Amino acid sequence: MSATTLDTPAPSRIRLGLRAVMGVVVVVLATFPLLNMLPQDSVFHVSDFLVSVSGKWICYAILALSLDLAWGYAGILSLGHGAFFALGGYAMGMHLMRLIGPRGVYGHPVLPDFMVFLGYQQLPWYWLGFDHFAFAMLMVLLVPGMLALVLGWLCFRSRITGVYLSIITQAMTYALMLAFFRNDMGFGGNNGFTDFKELLGMPLNTGAARASLFYASLVSLVGCYLFCLWMTGTKYGRVLTAIRDAENRVRFLGYDTTSHKLFAFVASAMMAGLAGALYVPQVGIINPGEFSPGNSIEAVIWVAVGGRGTLVGAVIGAFSVNGLKTWLTSAAPDLWLFVLGGLFVAVTLFLPKGLVGLLKGRAK
């Protein structure tokens, strides 16, 4: 026996092919804001609409990546990832609200409009610090991370898995939605936050701001992708896969599976929070509707359609399902929910490995 036979083999051609697909997607997206600057009559011109809508899709792709890390790798089917996304969005929204300053309708130097309207005398303590960008960014990661830590610790420790865990995560986002709808929570009730003015000194209604946010999202997507790629490539990634397939067996090998799952769940929640934070300044609003359980489960279908357990699959799924949604909701709005429901049925029955599975099948 020679040592060379046991050397780790090079990544397979399929895997390299998928990474190439990811590269192409990123490069094509990167040209969008540039092509947007071409004259309108040019064949290569990319409309404002496409730039802004694909900016949103990039955020969704980050959310899909985070969900894929939890579901595809660690086997935690979270039906509440939308809550982490929304919490990140709210943290960013709080920062943007603080930046409005005296430019609100009521012109109060500190309090946001809705607080003046509701008769607040001073800023609630949990709003303090959000005027600093760095603090807000920290909260974007920490708030979803802490929620995931507490919820995950409670669930994983008591060995709640499978559909039980899924329903509990769904109940979590449902409860948060109800809570955020209340005015006395201090988060703007059902109107949420809107009328943002600027971010990092940059007025939000300009093309330059749109392009900057677009590139920030794209860089984040690439960063998250590389982070997940690295993570799943280490022994930790293999432990996660092993936990997904046979958690009890992993315990008997001496791994404390609770801490491993918790680590992945928290990292995933933080990524979802980041996605939400990038999303909010691009769409200009955040309200409790983002917590709706339907949003979370829609994110699950992106991952399922693309192919769970492959990072590129999650990204492709987010882009393709959302592309379809954008097209269908204008072309045939009544049909969209049938198509979405049909996607759930078709993917689970006929395409358990998603589009990427289809590609892999072709490649073989």
Partner 1 sequence: MKRTILLLFLLLAAMPARAQDAFLAALPGLGGGFGAQVEAVGQLGTLGDPRALPILTALSEGRLLRLADGTLLIRDGTRLLNAATGAPVDVAEADTQRVTINNRVRGALRGALGQLQIISPNSAERLAAADAIFRARSAENVPLLDAALARESVPEVRDRIALALAASRLVATNPADKLAGITALGETASPQARSILLEARAANPEVATQIDAAVAAIDQRLAIRRAAETLFQGLSLGSVLLLAALGLAVTFGVMGVINMAHGEFVMLGAYTTVMVQDFARDIPWLQPWSLPIAVPAAFLVTAAIGAAMERGLIRHLYGRPLETLLLTFGVGMMIQQAVRLIFGAQNREVISPPWMQGTLMLPFDIPVTANRLWILCFSLVIFGLILAAIRMTRFGLEMRAVTQRRPIAAAMGIRTGRVDALTFAFGSGIAGIAGVALSQIDNVSPNLGTGYIIDSFLVVVFGGVGSLAGTLIAAFGLGVINKMLEPWAGAVLAKVFVLVAVMAFIQRRPRGLFPQKGRAAEA
Partner 2 sequence: MKGRRLYLDGVSVVFDGFRALNNLALVVEPGEMRAVIGPNGAGKTTMMDVITGKTRPTSGIVTFGELDLTRMDEASIANLGIGRKFQKPTVFDALTVFENLELALKAPRGPVACLRWHLAGAGRTRIEEVTTEIGLTDRAHDLAGILSHGQKQWLEIGMMLMQDPDLMLVDEPVAGMTDAETEHTAKLLARIAGRHSVVVVEHDLDFVRALGCKVTVLHEGTLLSEGSIDHVQNDPRVVEVYLGR
259 contact, one of partner 2, partner 1, none, CB 5-8 Å limit per kind:
partner 2
CA separation for the pair 339, 120 (Å, rounded): 45
H or E element at residue 20: helix 13-36
Nearer residue to partner 1 within complex by CB, 33 or 306: 306
Pair 170, 80: CB distance under 8 Å: yes
146 contact, one of partner 1, partner 2, none, CB 5-8 Å limit per kind:
none
User: Is 11 a residue that touches partner 2 (CB under 8 A)?
Assistant: no
Nearer residue to partner 1 within complex by CB, 212 or 241: 241
Show contacts with partner 2 in window 259-278 (CB under 8 A). 259-260, 263-264
From 109, 254, 333, 361, residue interacting with partner 2 (rule: CB under 8 A): 254
User: Is 70 a residue that touches partner 2 (CB under 8 A)?
Assistant: no
31 contact, one of partner 2, partner 1, none, CB 5-8 Å limit per kind:
none
User: Is 245 a residue that touches partner 2 (CB under 8 A)?
Assistant: yes
Per the DSSP assignment, residues forming a β-bridge with 199 are 202
Question: Cβ of residue 285: shortest distance to partner 2, in angstroms?
Answer: 37
From 241, 320, 326, 329, residue interacting with partner 2 (rule: CB under 8 A): 241
Pair 259, 253: CB distance under 8 Å: no
Burial of 217 (0-12, 13-18, 19+ CB in 10 A): buried
Strands 193-194 and 285-286: antiparallel
Tell me the backbone φ, ψ of residue 224, rounded to 5 degrees.
-65, -40
Strands 202-203 and 285-286: unpaired
Stretch that binds partner 2, among 127-135, 232-240, 319-327, 345-353 (CB under 8 A): 232-240
- Name the site residues for partner 1 (rule: CB under 8 A): 75, 77, 154-155, 157-168, 170-172, 174-175, 178-179, 181-182, 293, 297, 300-301, 304, 334, 337-338, 340-345, 347-349, 352
Question: Cβ of residue 224: shortest distance to partner 1, in angstroms?
Answer: 24
What is the DSSP secondary-structure string of 273-321?
HHHHHHHHHHHTEE-GGGG-HHHHHHHHHHHHHH-TT-HHHHHHHHHHH
Closest CA to 110 of 128, 92, 87, 90: 128
**Number of C-beta neighbours around residue 211 at 10 A:** 17
Nearer residue to partner 1 within complex by CB, 54 or 170: 170
User: Is 27 a residue that touches partner 2 (CB under 8 A)?
Assistant: no
From 38, 154, 256, 348, residue interacting with partner 2 (rule: CB under 8 A): 256
Residues contributing to the site for partner 2 (CB under 8 A): 1, 3, 5-6, 8-9, 231, 234-236, 238-239, 241-242, 244-246, 248-257, 259-260, 263-264
